[in-house]
Amino acid sequence: MSKRGQLCGLTILLVFALILGGCGGNAASNNKAGEEKDFKPSKPIEVVAPAGAGGGWDTTARTVAKIMGEEQLIDKMAVVNKPGGGGATGWSYVHRKKGDNHTLFVTSPPLLFVPLNGQSQYGHEDFTPIASVIADYGAFVVHKDSPYQSMKDLIEALKKDPKSVSIVGTSSPGSMDHMQFVSAVQKAGVDAKQLKYITAQDGAGMSMLLGKKADVYSTGVGEAAEQARAGKVRVLAITAPERMKGETVKDFPTLKEQGIDDEFTVWRGFMGPPGMSEAAVKFYEKKIKEMMEKDSWKSIRDSYGWEDKYMDHKEFKTYLDAQHKAMKSLLDEIGLGDEAK
């Protein structure tokens, strides 16, 4: 065979090899895409509650894990508590699991507040949004013997002397319990920079109120309802947009009906580590939505005074970005934002 013929033969073989290689590569890509599309957990799911047992994060995580298992939506979900730093310890733990499709964590407004006031290097942009699940609301509570009968009474006292009233919460200054109160009274014309806010140690806010060691307790509706049923406290206001339904909570007045144009939603949802695959996000998103349609979920939800607030991962991200902007502005106004320090 001539050299020219040999060259032609080699050229044909090379082209054929490239075609086969391309087909093989496409097949591999298609197989990978198929695996991504059909993602299913291959081991138990770790659900991180970035706080100790008994709080809102822990309760939400354990409720979801329980119902997912009982309804055979996700077989094995193990809740792990990672307390510390107002959530920062748990966020740091999850962030180290970059690309892990088998780790979730429950989240709420502190994921915005804590980084904004400089107490965590990780914020909502550093994780993968999956879905928002519930809306809870704040409650401002006083002892049954308190002279404050309404928010109007409290606001008048705060306007005269902001430091004359002690407000207790279980979160640090610049985080949720503090900021839901700041948001409300600032709208009513109180100098929020002068407030006397106390952080209760080990979740002892209600104990301090009942022991008359604080004048007002900024907490959630669920905890407020429990003590209101027992006749030990008076709920001055809740941060919901309208009155809630339920045997006890229906009697709690809103800020708006008392002339304070403010509301504060304590949303809770789930996120994953950075780099979680899109297929995994869609899997969990779908399962969460299915869970929220179950009667078992609705029963527990109602018992805690929660409201459904479902958002898919895209809606959740948009919501978080907007909330982040609003909270940054509020923190900067009272001098607690990281940039204001």
Same domain, 51 and 85: yes
Same domain, 168 and 278: no
Strand partners, 107: 269
**Residue 89 counted as domain residue:** yes
Distance, in Å, from the CA atom of 124 to the CA atom of 76, rounded to the nearest integer, reads 26
- Which pLDDT belongs to residue 316? 98
Same domain, 228 and 290: no
**Residue 35 counted as domain residue:** no
Same domain, 131 and 276: yes
- Which pLDDT belongs to residue 71? 97
Same domain, 196 and 308: no
With a CB cutoff of 8 Å and minimum separation 6, the contacts of 48 are: 61, 79, 80, 81, 82, 90, 93, 94, 103, 104, 105, 106
**Residue 52 counted as domain residue:** yes
**Nearest one of 266, 314, 278, 280 to 106, comparing CA atoms:** 266
**Nearest one of 183, 172, 138, 209 to 51, comparing CA atoms:** 172
CATH of the domain at 63: 3.40.190.150
Same domain, 151 and 124: no
**Residue 10 counted as domain residue:** no
- The answer to whether the CB of 220 falls within 8 A of the CB of 298 is no
- Which pLDDT belongs to residue 89? 95
Same domain, 243 and 296: no
**Nearest one of 202, 229, 199, 201 to 217, comparing CA atoms:** 199
Instruction: Give this prediction's pTM.
Output: 0.79
Task: Give residue 333's domain range.
Answer: 45-135+266-340
Same domain, 183 and 249: yes
Same domain, 158 and 240: yes
Distance, in Å, from the CA atom of 199 to the CA atom of 52, rounded to the nearest integer, reads 16
Same domain, 258 and 287: no
What is the full per-residue pLDDT of the chain (341 aa) written as tens digits? 544 444 445 444 444 444 444 444 444 444 344 445 678 999 999 999 998 887 789 989 999 999 999 999 999 999 999 998 889 999 999 999 999 999 999 999 999 999 998 889 999 999 999 999 999 999 999 999 999 999 999 999 999 999 999 999 988 888 889 999 999 999 999 999 999 999 987 778 999 999 999 999 999 898 898 899 999 999 999 999 999 987 888 999 999 999 999 999 999 999 999 999 999 999 999 999 999 999 999 999 988 888 999 999 999 999 999 999 999 988 888 887 765 55
Pairing of strands 216-220, 45-49: unpaired
**Residue 5 counted as domain residue:** no
CATH of the domain at 247: 3.40.190.10
Last residue of a domain, one of 265, 300, 317: 265
Same domain, 155 and 261: yes
**Residue 305 counted as domain residue:** yes
Structurally, the chain folds into a number of domains equal to: 2
Same domain, 278 and 327: yes
Last residue of a domain, one of 213, 230, 265: 265
With a CB cutoff of 8 Å and minimum separation 6, the contacts of 44 are: 76, 77, 78, 102
- The answer to whether the CB of 124 falls within 8 A of the CB of 110 is no
- Which pLDDT belongs to residue 63? 96
Last residue of a domain, one of 248, 265, 282: 265
**Residue 284 counted as domain residue:** yes
**Nearest one of 4, 8, 241, 271 to 125, comparing CA atoms:** 271
Distance, in Å, from the CA atom of 1 to the CA atom of 207, rounded to the nearest integer, reads 98
- Which pLDDT belongs to residue 54? 77
**Residue 8 counted as domain residue:** no
